[in-house]
Amino acid sequence: MSTVYLAQDRKLGRPVALKVLRSDIAVEPARFAQEIRVTAQLQHPHILPLLDADDIGGYAYYVMPYVEGESLRDKLKRDGRMSLLDAVRLAREVAGALEHAHKREIVHRDIKPENILISAGHALVADFGIARIASSAPTQEPGITQAGLAVGTPAYMSPEQSLGDEVDGRTDIFSLGCVLYEMLTGRLPFGGGNAMGMLSAKMSGEVTPLTQWRDDVPEAVDVVLQRMLARDPDMRVPRAADVASELEAALTGTVLTPLPKPVKLPANAVAVLAFASMSPDTGDEYLAEGISEAIMHGLARVPGLRVIARTSAFALKGQALDVREIGARLKVRRVVEGSVRRAGQRLRVTAKLIDAETAHEVWSERFDRTLDDVFALEDDLAGAVAAQLRTLLMAEEGERLPTRQPQVAPTTSVAAYEQYLKGRFWWGQRTKAALERSVEHLQDALRIDSRFALAYAALAESYATMGLYGMAAPHEVAPTAREAANRALAIDPHSAGALCARACMRAFFEWDWEAAEQDFKAAMSADPQYPTAYQWYASTVLVPLGRFAEAQHMLSKAHDLDPLSLSIVVSRAAAAYYARLPLEAERYAREALAVDDRFAMGHFFLGLALEQSGALPDAQAALQRAVDLSGSVEAMAALASVLAARGERAEALALTQALEGQARSEYVSPVLLAQISVRTGDVQSALWHVQRAMELRAADLLWVGVRPVFDQLRRHPTWTGLLAELRLPGTVGPLSS
């Protein structure tokens, strides 16, 4: 179907793979462009990405990264059958890639060893879209092969694909089953010599069990494989995510059940997952996420429903997980998932409500609207889901939910709303560059509609986040955040986001703890399901005032609403660290790292906890890991402090000088330099840096009263005066409340 060339990207000076379709495969240019845009949206660790594509002189070509390694075909030719563990691991990685594509209604159609590359021991699925292009027709809907055309490789094609019938993701599951069978046995599951003979063997539905070829394969693995290779698509493992989870369970001897008996998922708990963007334009992802979040907010307004927060619901995006596992992780009984496709001004949204205990689809519906009608669309979606939940809860629990009240459109301008959605999309990334983009989009939204309360609140939160994370000097963000929050509250006095942002400003910029506490309590009253209110209240008011038991209570509430938020877990680690409970802090930090070992803040607070416990070498290693992952000035300062405590003064001095140099070109909080000065015994320098931080209104002054490194200054009269000016308690006990 194609020829692959090793080429050189002259612009970037890198080798690339250039794949050219055969000249006898006629490609309609507009269709080719459309399919390429759809395929280019696939971004997954086990999918070989598409760098470029075009059609020149009747030759369609693709440009992909050049991968050092080999194809699975090359490995099988050289080594023969594979070990059980390696074969199942590669199959699960391919299943993860397929699940990512299938959620976007993209079917590969040509899964075979030649299209699975092995790089650094892991699978990369190549050639998404090539069979799709070859089999497409101008009238064909994306995701469905045109009936009558069978494009693929006969030995690995499903019976329905061989017959030219319409196919969906289950054809790829069949093909993956053929590949897994070959990896384990060195043989194809269906012989026959030619295409017709293979089809005949497939139609018979009989496959020689794996146990006939090798004795180290658990029977449970063979059962899963037989289901993958079922002749009837309805009898196959239904989703690629199920393939991955069932293979793992079969390998480990785990019995898959909808839910462990002792655990009952709360019937009134629901998670709205990030809807998949099916638009040819990959830049429309913000729209899909925005519609998901709008449904979330609409459901959160129904008394009696517990709705999982955005951070946790969206954390599962792109993961090949069974819906039962999603329910268990998020502690919800119902899951809403769907997709959004945009074509010009037309929108097509498909939504499904799934029971996370049984994996049964309870309800699904398709909505076709125009972009101008997006507010009514979001309201209708939330209303439809709420109605289904009301019926289910009444039937199962005898619990009657109040009727949901229709939402008022947040703005009269669709253009302003698009900019708002883009701003929230980038705010969710939590990096400095992403937050700066968030601010740009939100400012554009407000230029279009100066009465857009949600945009003002989101702008305030973006600036507040930059200030709290030390990404900008306080004087650059605090006044703007406060002004945006006040503008939002003038329009909507019950805006939880605006109240939270203003509370943060009152805490770290004004040191007005009473006013900050009032705003946080008002935010929690306005939206009891907003986890940020509980988290920020704990971190910016309760912890600085030494009210640690209250802080952990608030963080526990935040965790219940947002169970997969690593930020909330490390906030619990921070609260324990400041309370002088290092073992508890270490436990929370390790809990976060068990989910994501590359989470820099997890390593940061692990290092602080280990330092507090006296394990200085381990603390140094953890903090060095935090520096390597993030380059954070906060982690650099903590590492310098530990180096000084270990007597490695030269290394500590080098880091300190690097921080001082960085402070000449960008904002670095003087509090960080103060803590190094304490460690090196320079008390006067430490006091000077804290006084300088007070002049700048540095955000991390919030915690100087509870930060253990400053304990030796507690009796110094200047320190006592500084704390009094900050209106912070002079002494803090580990169990203050």
pLDDT in tens, 460-474: 999 998 888 878 888
Closest by CA to 472, choosing from 668, 662, 658, 631, is 668
Q: Do 380 and 261 touch, CB atoms closer than 8 A?
A: no
The pLDDT of residue 270 is above 50: yes
* 532-573 pLDDT, tens digit each: 999 999 999 999 999 998 999 999 999 999 988 889 999 999
Is residue 172 among the annotated active site residues?
no
Using CB atoms within 10 Å of the CB of residue 303, give its burial: 0 to 12 exposed, 13 to 18 middle, 19+ buried: exposed
Least confident of 133-142, 201-210, 546-555: 133-142
Least confident of 143-147, 481-485, 576-580, 618-622: 143-147
Place of tokens 């983009």: 437
Which two tokens mark 351? 């939504």
Closest by CA to 573, choosing from 588, 592, 594, 556, is 588
Rounded to two decimals, what is the model's pTM? 0.60
Residue 415: phi, psi to the nearest 5?
Answer: -60, -40
CA atoms within 13 A on the CB side of 679: 26
| pLDDT at res. 360 | 85
* 151-172 pLDDT, tens digit each: 568 889 988 888 777 888 999 9
Q: One of 52, 110, 284, 368 is an active-site residue; which one?
A: 110
Query: What is the band of 263 on the pLDDT scale with cuts at 50, 70, 90?
Result: very low
Query: What is the band of 5 on the pLDDT scale with cuts at 50, 70, 90?
Result: confident
- Looking at the DSSP bridge assignments, the partners of residue 277 are 340
Query: What is the band of 325 on the pLDDT scale with cuts at 50, 70, 90?
Result: confident
Q: Regarding predicted confidence, which is higher, 30 or 455?
A: 455
**Alpha-carbon gap, residue 467 to 700, rounded angstroms:** 9
Strands 122-125 and 116-119: antiparallel
DSSP string, 348-406: EEEEEEEETTT--EEEEEEEEEEGGGHHHHHHHHHHHHHHHHHHHHHHHH-PPPPPPPP
Q: Do 232 and 200 touch, CB atoms closer than 8 A?
A: no
Which two tokens mark 376? 């009514």
Strands across the sheet with 59-65, in order? 2-9, 14-21, 59-65, 52-56
Please state, in angstroms and as integers, the Cα–Cα distance from residue 625 to each residue in 182, 378, 595, 621, following that order: 41, 43, 16, 6
CATH of domain 424-662: 1.25.40.10
Using CB atoms within 10 Å of the CB of residue 409, give its burial: 0 to 12 exposed, 13 to 18 middle, 19+ buried: middle
The mean of the pLDDT values for the chain is: 85
**Alpha-carbon gap, residue 323 to 311, rounded angstroms:** 18
The four Cα atoms 568, 570, 571, 575 give a dihedral, to 10 degrees, of 140
Closest by CA to 478, choosing from 667, 730, 727, is 667
CATH of domain 70-134+152-252: 1.10.510.10
Place of tokens 């005032």: 545
Query: What is the band of 253 on the pLDDT scale with cuts at 50, 70, 90?
Result: low
Mean pLDDT of 68-88: 92
Which two tokens mark 342? 């945009």
Which residues, in sequence order, are CB contacts of 387 under 8 Å at separation 6+? 404
Closest by CA to 618, choosing from 635, 649, 639, 598, is 639
Please state, in angstroms and as integers, the Cα–Cα distance from residue 28 to each residue in 102, 136, 528, 544, following that order: 24, 9, 54, 65
Q: Classify domain 269-409 at the CATH topology level.
A: Rossmann fold (3.40.50)
* 670-723 pLDDT, tens digit each: 999 999 999 888 999 999 999 999 999 999 999 999 999 999 898 899 999 999
Strands 306-307 and 276-277: unpaired
Which two tokens mark 457? 């609140």
Using CB atoms within 10 Å of the CB of residue 694, give its burial: 0 to 12 exposed, 13 to 18 middle, 19+ buried: middle
Q: Do 223 and 250 touch, CB atoms closer than 8 A?
A: yes
Least confident of 17-21, 28-32, 485-489, 590-594: 28-32
Radius of gyration of the chain (CA): 29
- Looking at the DSSP bridge assignments, the partners of residue 351 are 338, 365
**Is domain 2-65 in CATH 1.10.8.60, yes or no?**
no
| pLDDT at res. 737 | 35
